Amino acid sequence: MMTLKIQDLIDIEQFQLLQDRLNEIYSFPSAIIDNDGKVLTATAWQDICTKFHRQNSESEKECIKSDQYIADHLHEANPAVSYRCPHGLVDNATPIIIEGVHYGNYFTGQFFLEPPDLNFFRAQAKKYGFDEDAYIEAVKKVPIWTQEQLDSYLFFIKGLIEVIAGIGLKNLKEIETRQKMRESEERHRSILQTAMDGIWIVDLQGRLLEVNDAYCRMSGYSSQELLGMRISDLEATETGDSTAARIQKIRVQGDDRFESRHRRKDGSLFDVEVSVQYRATDSGQFVAFLRDISDRKQAEEALRESEQHYRDLFAKANEGLFVMTPDGQLSDVNQAFAEMHGYTVDEIKRMDIRELDVLKDRSLEDRAEVVRRIQAGAVVRFEVEHYHKDGHTFPLSVTSSMIHLGGQMYYLAFHQDITERRRAEEALRHAAYEWSL
């Protein structure tokens, strides 16, 4: 949490000008001093203090005692602490409190409550070696106030302090709000840059407004290069018109998930799975999560070409895979699938896949529709939530289809742990909400 001072919360120059103008109307010494003793504003300070008491090392010690007394008794202020200093002058201090925090003090003082005893001051001039005539002249310039005048002035100061505190509180809230927004933006950027998936923020015209390091690595472009580009500069399968139509579709329905192919800087192509959300803030933007699925595509192609090759890829794939019979029995599970659930391959093969499934995200009717589409020959993508062996749950993105193996039909399902992406989406939604305030 940042540490603020009174000068961070009020316009010091403005209050100096105000004090100067008040002094022209009704002369009275005043000052705003922070908790470190720094004088921020000063008006009509008396020569007796500035040219004599504070200039002599011995007499200054008494001034310091006066300052310390006031500091030690500020908690007694009602509304001010008053003190007659050893040099015979009266000082007052009113604490400046903003939302319970003491930020500084408003000082008034260097005046008399009765006509001064000039013999006392002549003796004081002799004691400290002051020029007696000049010193007595300075004494005569010090204002003489009645107690009633002082009480009236302190009542005015009490109101002025309330104004100062009100302005300070308003500025404090604005500073805190800006700080929270900066922290939110820093979290947002940290999530963008550390995510494993590529992330884009795109405007309604398809211009890239922000990209993360992961997509830079995928594409071979630097972030500076990408921020001068449009989707059509990277998209290898859609025409410009097709991309524009998809943008309008996502804007209407709010989100979309699809596969595409992008062009790297060196001209080579790579397959991506894209998950997009539309955000209506900032004149409309799209947040896209992009995952390089080249390995998956190669695995799918290999499955079509060679069952043996499939076996090798199945075992080595980074994504979780399982093969299941139409009646729900697991035929095969790879190491990645077992590890993401906290089990060994042998343990998970002995389980019913339904034991892993958390039902809260999809209804039984939804699941039946997914099965119907897969059996009809479609490649179906959906999200589920599974139990880990230790009891916690985590989200998965699933791509499932029917395959032929040894003359039999099976379900093949690719599983990707999307915990990090969900966190990134939530952080972006939270950041968007804060930006909209």
Give residue limits of the domains in the chain: 6-180, 195-290, 296-422
CA distance from start to end of the chain:
21
SS3 319: coil
Helices (H), 223-331: 223-226, 231-234, 240-253, 294-305, 307-316
Average per-residue pLDDT for the chain: 84
Helices (H), 195-256: 213-219, 223-226, 231-234, 240-253
The confidence band for 130, taking pLDDT boundaries of 50, 70 and 90, is very high
Length of the chain in residues, anyone?
437
SS3 419: helix
Q: How many CB atoms lie within 10 A of CB 111?
A: 21
Position 391 pLDDT exceeds 90: yes
Instruction: Output phi, psi for 56, to 5 deg.
Output: -100, 125
**Contact yes or no for 287/431 (Cβ under 8 A):** no
Q: Which of 231-240, 303-312, 371-380, 416-425 has the lowest mean pLDDT?
A: 303-312
The pLDDT value recorded for residue 435 is 61
Fold of 296-422: Beta-Lactamase (3.30.450)
The pLDDT value recorded for residue 115 is 92
Position 416 pLDDT exceeds 70: yes
The confidence band for 408, taking pLDDT boundaries of 50, 70 and 90, is confident
According to the CATH classification, is domain 6-180 in 3.30.450.40?
A: yes
The confidence band for 304, taking pLDDT boundaries of 50, 70 and 90, is low
Query: Which DSSP symbol is given to 361?
Result: G
Can you say how many angstroms the Cα of residue 419 is from the centroid of all Cα atoms in its chain? 21
The pair of structure tokens assigned to 74 is 């500020």
Q: State which amino acid sits at residue 86.
A: P
Position 76 pLDDT exceeds 70: yes
* Share above pLDDT 90 across residues of the chain, in percent, rounded to a whole number: 26
**Contact yes or no for 138/46 (Cβ under 8 A):** yes
The pair of structure tokens assigned to 209 is 């407004």
The pLDDT value recorded for residue 315 is 74
| CA separation for the pair 112, 132 (Å, rounded) | 19
**Contact yes or no for 416/397 (Cβ under 8 A):** yes
User: pTM here?
Assistant: 0.44
The pLDDT value recorded for residue 2 is 62
Helices (H), 26-130: 47, 57-72, 118-128
330-333 and 408-417 strand pairing? unpaired
* 85-117 residue pLDDT tens: 888 898 888 888 888 888 888 888 888 889 999
Instruction: Output phi, psi for 281, to 5 deg.
Output: -70, 165
Q: Which residue has the tokens 């595409």?
A: 260
Position 360 pLDDT exceeds 80: no
Burial of residue 204 (CB within 10 Å: 0-12, 13-18, 19+) is: middle
Of 183 and 415, the structure prediction assigns the larger pLDDT to 415
Position 41 pLDDT exceeds 90: no
Asked, colleague to colleague, whether 195-290 and 296-422 share their fold, the answer is yes
Of 121 and 145, the structure prediction assigns the larger pLDDT to 121
The confidence band for 364, taking pLDDT boundaries of 50, 70 and 90, is low
Give the contacts of 391 (CB within 8 A, at least 6 positions apart): none
Return the H-helix or E-strand segment holding 257.
strand 255-263
Of 379 and 433, the structure prediction assigns the larger pLDDT to 379
Position 306 pLDDT exceeds 70: no
**Neighbouring C-alpha atoms within 13 Å toward the C-beta of 243:** 21
| CA separation for the pair 37, 16 (Å, rounded) | 17
Stretch 296-302: mean pLDDT, rounded? 77
The pLDDT value recorded for residue 207 is 93
Q: How many CB atoms lie within 10 A of CB 255?
A: 11
Class of domain 195-290: alpha beta
Position 194 pLDDT exceeds 60: no
The confidence band for 29, taking pLDDT boundaries of 50, 70 and 90, is confident
Sign of the alpha-carbon dihedral angle for 304, 306, 307, 308: negative
